[in-house]
Amino acid sequence: MKHTAKDADGAAGTAGQEPSAPLGVAVVGAGYWGPNLVRNFQSSPEFRLHWLCDLNVDRARQVLGGYSTVQATADYAAVLADPAVEAVAVATPAGTHLDVALAALRAGKHVLVEKPLAATYEDGLALVTEAEERGLTLMCDHTYCYTPAVARIREMVRAGELGDIQFVDSVRINLGLVQKDVDVLWDLAPHDLSVLDFILPDHVRPVAVAAHGADPIGAGQSCVAYLTLQLNTGAIAHVHVNWLSPTKVRTTMVGGSKRTLVWDDLNPTQRVAVFDRGVDLTAPQEIGVDERRDMLVSYRTGDMVAPALGEKEALRSMVEEFAAAIRTGRPALTDGRAGLQVLDILEAASRSLEFRGAVVGLRTGR
């Protein structure tokens, strides 16, 4: 069954704690993403940052600055032993997520994990199972899902404003850094897959995937890839990722039976546009038997509307959602199972690449 995250307001408070009291949190990892988490936790009234943990303590101190009251350490055990720490945010390499996050969960801490949730589906499942058995919040930092644009797209899709979803097409290409340890699918596609999982209605889900990739520069792994997802409704979703494009494109098109939406993340003046244009199919019983077959199809050309979007940093919204999930006990909008869904698709895509584009079924039914 597909996971449903309820939109709940209010704060119930954790055991023995006033709802308004900040939640104690520690960040693990002071590399690329950790400083962004540090900044947002420090600026949020929902949290009080106590620790920044990194194997390189000097780097952690540099991130915190000279006047910070937050403690820098390389001793993760000391962080987990601190009763003031109720939650841990993990911003370490994916291969370490299982060990770092599992230790936090077993210490009774709520956990936020940078994408991907883990290096493998089995590791991700272990984290989800541990969190559920202990009644703890496990959330995946799918940052794009908390942008104002994607939040608005989710509202429109789930309210039926686009009608039944017929197709989703995403393009994420640029002249990017060729990674040594992952191919272009594992590097770029998690963004698009997390957004797809976030916006689709609860009754719509991917059931199978086929992937094609190429390595024209001899990097040893796919630098260009195309991923096609079959949805249980008969609709289709497509993702194009590319490290070799001379231009940068970040677009997603969501086609529905009523309207089609285009999200251009690189267009600050019009990120989302909704087109009342499409193809309508007249049911056979609605036309006479003597009318031609081509009269079944009609083309609709209407207005384009650009919805107004608020301005708010996605990470700030993500941090607020983490706090709300902890306080209310409800699943986060991008909880562990959402992270598990992305891992399932990525692993299936990798298997499909091995077998030259064969269709591979997915494991998660959510």
Confidence check: pLDDT of 256 > 90 = yes
pLDDT of residue 325: 97
Cα separation, 292 vs 343, whole angstroms = 48
Q: Please indicate, yes or no, whether residues 63 and 177 belong to a single structural domain of this protein.
A: no
Q: Domain containing 244 — which CATH number?
A: 3.30.360.10
**Same domain membership, residue 87 and residue 162:** no
Per-residue model confidence as pLDDT tens digits over 263-273: 999 998 899 99
Do 101 and 189 belong together in one domain? no
pLDDT at 246 over 50: yes
3-state secondary structure at position 264: strand
Does pLDDT of 15 surpass 50? no
Helix (H, G, I), strand (E, B) or coil at 197: helix
Q: What are phi and psi of 264, to 5 degrees?
A: -115, 100
Q: Is the pLDDT of residue 365 over 70?
A: no
pLDDT of residue 280: 64
> Per residue in 151-186, pLDDT tens?
999 999 999 999 999 999 999 999 988 888 889 999
The three state secondary structure string of 233-255 is CCCEEEEEEECEEEEEEEEEEEE
CB contact at 8 A, 145 and 334: yes
Quote the CA–CA distance of 208 and 148 in Å, as a whole number. Answer: 29
pLDDT at 156: 96
Q: Please indicate, yes or no, if residue 101 is contained in any of the structural domains.
A: yes
- Residue 144 DSSP label: G
124 & 190 share domain? no
Q: What pLDDT was estimated at residue 364?
A: 65
CA torsion angle 106 111 113 119 (round to 10): 20
- Verify that 166 and 208 share a domain, yes or no: yes
- pLDDT surpassing 60 at residue 13: no
234 and 357: one domain? yes
* Integer Cα distance of 74 and 178 in angstroms: 30
> What is the distance of C-alpha 124 from the center of its chain?
14
CA gap 126, 105 in Å, rounded: 11
What SS3 class is residue 300? strand
Q: Residue 209: beta bridge partners?
A: 229, 360
Residue 33 maps to which CATH number?
Answer: 3.40.50.720
At residue 6, the pLDDT reads 40
On whether both 123 and 217 belong to a single domain, the answer is no
Residue 9 is assigned to a structural domain of this protein: no
One domain for residues 81 and 152: no
Question: 3-class secondary structure for 169-189?
Answer: EEEEEEECCCCCCCCHHHHHH
Average pLDDT over residues 126-150: 97
Q: What is the DSSP letter of 285?
A: G
The radius of gyration computed from the CA coordinates of the chain, to the nearest angstrom, equals 22
Domain-embedded: residue 6:
no
pLDDT band at 321 (very low <50, low <70, confident <90, very high): very high
For residues 72 and 132, membership in a common domain is answered with: yes
Tokens 């499409």 locate to 278
Domain assignment present for residue 1? The answer is no
- Kindly state whether residues 158 and 255 are assigned to the same domain: yes
- Neighbour-count burial for 48-65, b at 16+ CB within 10 Å, e otherwise: bbbbbbbeeeebbbebbe
Look at residue 12 and tell me if it is in a domain: no
| Residue 353 and residue 204 in one domain | yes
Residue spans of alpha helices (H) in 50-147: 57-64, 76-81, 97-106, 121-134
User: Which residues form the domain of 244?
Assistant: 148-264+272-308+344-361
Residue 303: predicted pLDDT: 76
Answer whether residue 178 is part of any domain: yes
53-66: per-residue pLDDT in tens?
A: 999 999 999 999 87
| Burial state string for 310-338 with b = 16 or more CB within 10 A and e = fewer than 16 | eeebbbebbbbbbbbbbbbebbbbbbbbb
- Which of the four pLDDT bands, split at 50, 70 and 90, describes residue 107? very high
349, 246: one domain: yes
323 is a domain residue: yes
* Total count of domains within the chain: 2
Q: What is the pLDDT of residues 222-245, one digit of tens each?
A: 999 999 999 999 999 999 999 999
Average pLDDT, the chain: 89
Residue 14 belongs to some domain of the structure:
no
pLDDT band at 258 (very low <50, low <70, confident <90, very high): very high
